[in-house]
Structure 1
Amino acid sequence: MNKVKSRPDPYITLLVTWESYQLSIFSPLRNDTYQRLFGAQVISLAGTGLTTIALALLAHDLAGGSAGQVHGIALGLKMIAYVFIAPLFGAISQKIPRRGLLVTLDILRACVVVVLPFITEIWQIYVLVFVLNVFSAGFTPVFQATIPDIVTDQDEYTKVLSLSRLAYDLENLLSPMMAAALITLMTFDVLFLMNGVAFILSASLVLSVTFPRRKDTFHGESFWTRVTKGMRIYLKTPRLKGLLALSLVVSSAGAMQIVNTVVYVRSHLGLTDEWVAIVLAAAGAGSMVVALTLPSILKSVQPRPCMLAGGFILSLSVLAGAIMPGIGLLLLLWFLMGAGMSMILTPVGRLLTISCRENDRPALFAAQFSLSHVCWLLTYPLAGWLGVQIGLMGAFIVLGLVAILSAVAAMLVWPRQDFDHLEHTHSETNHGHYHYHDKHHQHQHEGWEGPEPHNHEHPHPHLIHSHDFVVDDHHTYWPK
């Protein structure tokens, strides 16, 4: 008698597969140091989200019908702080302990937000928002540049980037709901105090971990050299020039979402505020879906095709908005925009990490932070101005064209064959600077030079060789 083979329950199979996938995605959290830093990031983002809502309500209390203008100016000041201050902190962080800097910046941010409930004039909003974002412009890129030193495996680091993306998306989705629930129980002023507590908790978690030591290779470099170093590396690296073009794609689509969603849903479609939240949630859902699936994709696919695909999905979604869709299609387009943004933004940290030496990471992350916010500084006011001057259809068309042209530019400047290992030429030279005896410094000593790193005149012969290539002090241009 033949035995009937039992078939596995498809529900059980799906459940087991999903549980193992979750374990895989969250495996970096087994690293105790990263677990605490991720906790600090989540708590800090949650607090910041509450302050964003409370700030809008405070502006309405002080300015009434002009609250939108006040909020817009505050947003512009935030972008200015991000653009001009981040490189300064990138230079500072190369010379002082990172943990102490991050803890100090968290405490300073806490001090600023707890003052916000007590202000009585609009100009005070501008001053405190600018100061708060000066400290954030220091904290965020230094924090991001530290993570690759903690999680050194590339696959695990890719998961870290997805977790970071999820944290931002959850903050965008959950903070408004948390704020709405809390405001029913207390005044909005308390949200500022809660953000202050969040920053203190974040500082405590950062203080509880030990960061790996870095070699100090910046002896003798001027402050201005360190400030501009990240920009010089960034703008001489082809893949990063492609990333800059994709950052303009993201800001073009993102500005249209953030500035004009409420106008489109309320004024054009005639729907309620609840639909504004649902449409924005659709973008967050698209971003989260990609963030969850991207680590497994990037095991077999390089960042370039993934990020370029995200650029074209974003661009075409913005252009499709020009047909002035109904709510169903609008939800789909916003979902696709969220997915496209995540396809671009999630691998950014990985791209920056492979494009510089370990000690140059803070400067390069600060350069990306600054340059990407230049794009937002351009597109935020453009989206609002176009919506008023030529209507929403015109705004969709113009920003969609900016996005598609930027995506094409990224495809052209980012080489398809993006090799790390490159053959290049060193001209013969004789110079002096602080150095360790690495593969570029093999020479004789007379005994007086002292311990490494030390500074003395030394020769470099004419040399043609190949190795993993990044722009640095001895490789000042990208080889053809």
Structure 2
Amino acid sequence: MRLFAVRDYRHLFGAQVIALFGTGLTTVALGLLAYDLAGPRAGMVLGTALTIKMVMYVVIAPLAAAYVDRISRRTLLVLLDVIRGAVVLALPLVTEVWQVYVLIGLLQAASAAFTPTFQAVIPDIVPDEADYTRALSASQVASTMESLLSPVLAAVALTFLSFDRLFLGTSVGFLVSALLVLATRIPNARPDTRTGARDRVTGGIRTFFRTPRLRGVMALNLVVASAGAIVVVNTVNHVRDELGGSQSDVAWLLAASGTGTLLAALALPRVLDRIAARTVMLTGAGVLVTATAAAVTLLAAGALGWTGTAVVWALVGIGTALVITPTGKVLRSSVARTAIPGAFAAQFSLSHLAWLITYPVAGWLGTTAGLAPAWSVLTALAGAGAVAALLLWPRHEGPATTAPMTTDRYGSATRDRSALTKAA
């Protein structure tokens, strides 16, 4: 079936796109608000806000997944969109920096609960495996387009409006997203058989540690975060201080990375129909390690100019898509259906935990010791993650074709070995 012929998916995808662009415009407006409040200390304000975001993502997502089967998922998604819209609407009214931190905490807590719940809904709306793969790719394309177009849209809007009007526009966007979710038929989550609070909160993370392929995914999260931190955190300093470029040049180099991600995400559905996700994801890890190593080598030699930087940044984008896009498919094949929300929430938290490690390396070490030492550490982390993924994810661990699926108490999908023996 054609993916966008599915009415409920079409509505849900529209809600995701609108919310993504709302988040992107909020990020631009937040930077201007921080400068308006703190002036030269704006970078510190934004850095603290980013840390709050990562902490919320790591802590809140498992809690939300643990109790998502207690209420209607559609009601939860709508409520979270309304909360985000209200918080964004309140941001231009703040007069103190601490108020920014409180509101950002609320905003990111809602996002941390929204994203894994949204991801876990897609398999129920798009049950066909091939279409589900395309749905994952479409989500990646949407995220990439947001990163490419949000700064452009913000720049155009700011020629006519003050930055506080951006908050108003993004608030409306979140409310439109809520209306689209409300118009979508979303089945409730299947009841989780775990009754203990501790099992419900930590079950998804325990599943990751107990499942070999998911341990490999954890290691790949570190590879993505190590390479991505260089682009996200250090592009502005590299362009302005090393290359002597302008603010628009910073945007163009960020667009180079986003373009790499976009092109790879568009090509992946057909690739994943023929090539195993493990092979694709480990290839992506290799691309990311190669890109970061090239960045360190060229920077140390004083040869990382405009062309070299654009090529390396595009490779980071390509490698990121190769790792991230198939992840949902791997999660879906690794756990029982009732454990899907917990698995997505665990991946959401664990991936952002990796970013929480690499952001300070890129930011604090890059500022105090220089870009070359910071990138060397991040390259080492990326290499360690790639090697760990290769060792932790067995080559022949894919699902058996004849054995029935069973689950352990944490929701890990396993195969009946006796059935395999009989089949053999």
TM class, shorter-length: over 0.9
CA contact (8 A) 1:48 1:195 kept: yes
**Aligned-partner residue type, residue 183 of structure 2:** S
What is the CA distance between 1:235 and its match in structure 2? 1.3
After superposition, the C-alpha distances for 1:335-375 in whole angstroms (9 at most, x for unaligned) are 11100000000011111111111111111111100111110
Q: Could you say which structure has the higher strand fraction?
A: 1
Within the candidate set 214, 226, 229, 1:252 is matched to 226
Q: Which residue of 2 aligns with 1:318?
A: 292
**CA distance in 2: counterparts of 1:63 and 1:154, whole angstroms:** 50
Q: Which residue of 1 aligns with 2:208?
A: 234
Q: Does 1:363 align with 2:300?
A: no
Q: Which residue of 2 aligns with 1:302?
A: 276
Q: Could you say which structure has the higher helix fraction?
A: 2
Q: Does 1:334 align with 2:334?
A: no
The alignment yields a C-alpha RMSD, in angstroms, of 1.8
Q: Structure 2: which 5+ residue stretches go unaligned?
A: 418-424
Q: Does 1:467 align with 2:370?
A: no
What is the CA distance between 1:388 and its match in structure 2? 2.1
**Aligned-partner residue type, residue 170 of structure 1:** M
CA contact (8 A) 1:356 1:471 kept: no
After superposition, the C-alpha distances for 1:359-405 in whole angstroms (9 at most, x for unaligned) are 11111111100111110111001111221233212222211111011
Q: Which residue of 2 aligns with 1:162?
A: 137
CA contact (8 A) 1:28 1:34 kept: yes
**CA distance in 2: counterparts of 1:382 and 1:42, whole angstroms:** 31
**Aligned-partner residue type, residue 110 of structure 1:** G
**Aligned-partner residue type, residue 417 of structure 1:** H
**CA distance in 2: counterparts of 1:478 and 1:125, whole angstroms:** 49
**Aligned-partner residue type, residue 282 of structure 1:** A
Q: Which residue of 1 aligns with 2:69?
A: 94
Q: Which residue of 1 aligns with 2:422?
A: none
Q: Does 1:343 align with 2:280?
A: no
Q: Does 1:280 align with 2:254?
A: yes
After superposition, the C-alpha distances for 1:31-72 in whole angstroms (9 at most, x for unaligned) are 111000000000000111110000000000000000000000
Q: Which residue of 2 aligns with 1:114?
A: 89
CA contact (8 A) 1:421 1:468 kept: no
**CA distance in 2: counterparts of 1:385 and 1:475, whole angstroms:** 38
**CA distance in 2: counterparts of 1:179 and 1:74, whole angstroms:** 20
**Aligned-partner residue type, residue 5 of structure 2:** R
CA contact (8 A) 2:137 2:325 kept: yes
Q: Which residue of 2 aligns with 1:123?
A: 98
CA contact (8 A) 2:203 2:411 kept: no
Q: Which residue of 1 aligns with 2:3?
A: 28
**CA distance in 1: counterparts of 2:284 and 2:38, whole angstroms:** 39
Q: 1:479 to 1:248 in 2, by over 3 A?
A: farther
Q: Which residue of 2 aligns with 1:420?
A: 399
**CA distance in 1: counterparts of 2:407 and 2:377, whole angstroms:** 36
What is the CA distance between 1:83 and its match in structure 2? 0.4
CA contact (8 A) 2:29 2:166 kept: yes
Q: Which residue of 2 aligns with 1:40?
A: 15
**CA distance in 2: counterparts of 1:215 and 1:176, whole angstroms:** 40
Q: Percent identity?
A: 46
**Aligned-partner residue type, residue 238 of structure 1:** P
Q: Which residue of 2 aligns with 1:387?
A: 366
**CA distance in 2: counterparts of 1:76 and 1:468, whole angstroms:** 40
Q: 1:474 to 1:158 in 2, by over 3 A?
A: closer
**CA distance in 2: counterparts of 1:478 and 1:386, whole angstroms:** 46
CA contact (8 A) 1:355 1:471 kept: no
**CA distance in 1: counterparts of 2:128 and 2:382, whole angstroms:** 33
Q: Higher RCO, 1 or 2 (CA under 8 Å, sep at least 6)?
A: 2
Alignment coverage as a number of residue pairs: 412
Q: Which residue of 1 aligns with 2:30?
A: 55
Which aligned segments of 4 or more residues in structure 1 are displaced greater than 3 angstroms?
468-480
After superposition, the C-alpha distances for 1:216-273 in whole angstroms (9 at most, x for unaligned) are 343x713322111111111111111000100000000111111101111110111122
Q: 1:474 to 1:214 in 2, by over 3 A?
A: closer
CA contact (8 A) 2:405 2:414 kept: no
Q: Which residue of 1 aligns with 2:385?
A: 406
**Aligned-partner residue type, residue 54 of structure 1:** A
Q: Which residue of 2 aligns with 1:207?
A: 182
CA contact (8 A) 2:243 2:306 kept: yes
**CA distance in 2: counterparts of 1:115 and 1:395, whole angstroms:** 37
CA contact (8 A) 1:63 1:122 kept: yes
Q: Does 1:81 align with 2:53?
A: no
Q: 1:474 to 1:96 in 2, by over 3 A?
A: closer
**Aligned-partner residue type, residue 159 of structure 1:** R
CA contact (8 A) 1:113 1:193 kept: yes
CA contact (8 A) 1:117 1:192 kept: yes
Q: 1:400 to 1:187 in 2, by over 3 A?
A: same
Q: Which residue of 2 aligns with 1:198?
A: 173
Within the candidate set 108, 122, 126, 1:151 is matched to 126
**CA distance in 1: counterparts of 2:377 and 2:140, whole angstroms:** 28
**CA distance in 1: counterparts of 2:104 and 2:412, whole angstroms:** 40
**Aligned-partner residue type, residue 136 of structure 1:** S
CA contact (8 A) 1:356 1:472 kept: no
Greater shift in the superposed pair: 394-403 or 408-417: 394-403
SS of 1:271's equivalent?
coil
**CA distance in 2: counterparts of 1:97 and 1:109, whole angstroms:** 19
CA contact (8 A) 2:15 2:178 kept: yes
Q: 1:396 to 1:479 in 2, by over 3 A?
A: farther
CA contact (8 A) 1:244 1:372 kept: yes
What is the CA distance between 1:479 and its match in structure 2? 9.4
Tell me which structure has the larger Cα radius of gyration.
Answer: 1
